[in-house]
Structure 1
Amino acid sequence: MQIRSFPLGPLDTNCHVAWSGTLAVAVDPGGDPAEVVAFLKANNLTLTHILNTHLHFDHIYGNQALHAATGAPILACAKDAYMLDSELGSGGMWGFPKVTPFAYETIDEGEYTFMGLPCSVLHTPGHTPGSLSFFFPDGLGVPAVFVGDLLFYRSIGRTDFPGGSMPDLTKSVTRKIFTLPEETVVFSGHGPETSVGDERLNNPFFTEFIR
């Protein structure tokens, strides 16, 4: 599996494109996906799925456009569906544009196959009730996990939006992410990549977890 990240939209949300052979998935297209579509075409890649870690507006701006360009189905957790009826999911808050409506298929925790590779979909609430993380044990030569806004380099996602919960986020990170192999590369919704081992040792929100 190979991965390329495209910061998209008004909040520079990372849209991660992962591919193996000629098959690809896109995680969280948060803005105009023209650059992603061009990349797929230039590399003769077929997009099989659009994966949403959660349904905040800045992670889904490009869902419909990318679906229209590729035909790939959009997958998201039903526990976040309520947000699409509010500005937090449909856009419009803080002067940001509205989200183009889109249809999606529901997905929840379990074992799946994407790009011909095994993927463990982990339910990791805290930033939102329906936050999902996508763990590929056979990733980049080392495992890889896409966590959305659950965990960042040296930080964590906000829990003060409706549906957020600091206790839930802490539990999700410590029980679902920090239990992955320490070499697992962590791809977040904003900012640089990191690793499970690095965050276990150095993330200031979890120092009590390892010391």
Structure 2
Amino acid sequence: MRRIMSVAVFPLGPLETNCYLVSYEGQAVAIDVGGDPAPGSKYLKEHGLELKAICITHMHFDHLYGVAALAAETHATVYTPEKDKVIASTVLGQGGSSGFPAVPKFESVSIEPGNKTEFAGLECKVLSVPGHTPGSVAYYFKKEKCVFVGDTLFLESIGRTDFPFSSHEQLVTSIRSELFSLPDDTIVYPGHGPGTSIGYEKEHNAFL
């Protein structure tokens, strides 16, 4: 049975990265903060929510721009994928080229996929979905029937694999083995653009 959980989305930063605020019983977790977190901060205050964690799906710069500011404001712990450390020190992780600003530095704790944990009072399983980046993860809330996938899967599309350290073959394998093993009615919250569902993508995603 799905519990009453709220999900608010704020497209932030130069690439309009979806920042999600997932809340339950007065606590919240932020997933990917790609720009000025002011809209999310306002939402937290208006709804009387305490931010407990900031979870990052992968370490590309457009998912990181607002992390330092939100962490400083809320003192929430930041969780980043362990295997994305290889790109954290590159332009992909730090920004600062092609007209994009540098990512403000922040402290984080590495998170390993495969383990069940709890964010804001909600049980979550961290799924390993490499391909877009070596350490990409998805945050799966089984009881709430939803998964936050970063840039792995989109509405009728998949993540880019023309970056250094990306792999198209690995991405497709991750989607088929990890995401498509979830129930069809699982809501998919991607890193950019509108949401979808596992069942819909199985039927309509031409890339797969």
Shorter chain as denominator, the TM-score bin is over 0.9
Identity %: 47
**Whole-angstrom distance in 1 between the partners of 2:67 and 2:110:** 14
User: What are the residue-to-residue correspondences of 1:14-163 with 2, within 5 Å?
Assistant: 14-109=18-113, 110-139=115-144, 143-163=145-165
Encode CA deviations 1:40-63: one digit per residue, 9 max, x unaligned.
Answer: 011000000000000000000001
3-state secondary structure, aligned to 1:201: helix
Q: Are 1:168 and 2:173 an aligned pair? A: no
- Give the alignment's TM-score, normalised by structure 2: 0.96
Q: How many residues align?
A: 203
1:85 Cα deviation from its structure 2 partner: 1.3
Whole-Å separation in 1 of the counterparts to 2:120 and 2:74: 15
Corresponding residue of 1:209: none
Secondary structure of 1:178's counterpart equals: helix
Unaligned segments of structure 2, at least 5 residues: none
Q: CA RMSD in A?
A: 0.7
User: What's the offset of the Cα at 1:162?
Assistant: 0.9
After the TM superposition, list the runs of 4 or more consecutive aligned residues in structure 1 that deviate by more than 2 angstroms.
Answer: none
Which one is further off, 114-123 or 58-67? 114-123
More helix by share: 1
Match of 2:192 among 173, 190, 193: 190
Q: Which moved more, 1:173-182 or 1:113-122?
A: 113-122
How far is the alpha carbon of 1:92 from its aligned partner? 1.3
Q: TM-score, normalised by structure 1?
A: 0.95
* Structure 1: runs of 5 or more not aligned: 207-211
Paired residue secondary structure (2:148): strand
Give the AA of the match of 1:181. Answer: P
Partner of 2:203: 201
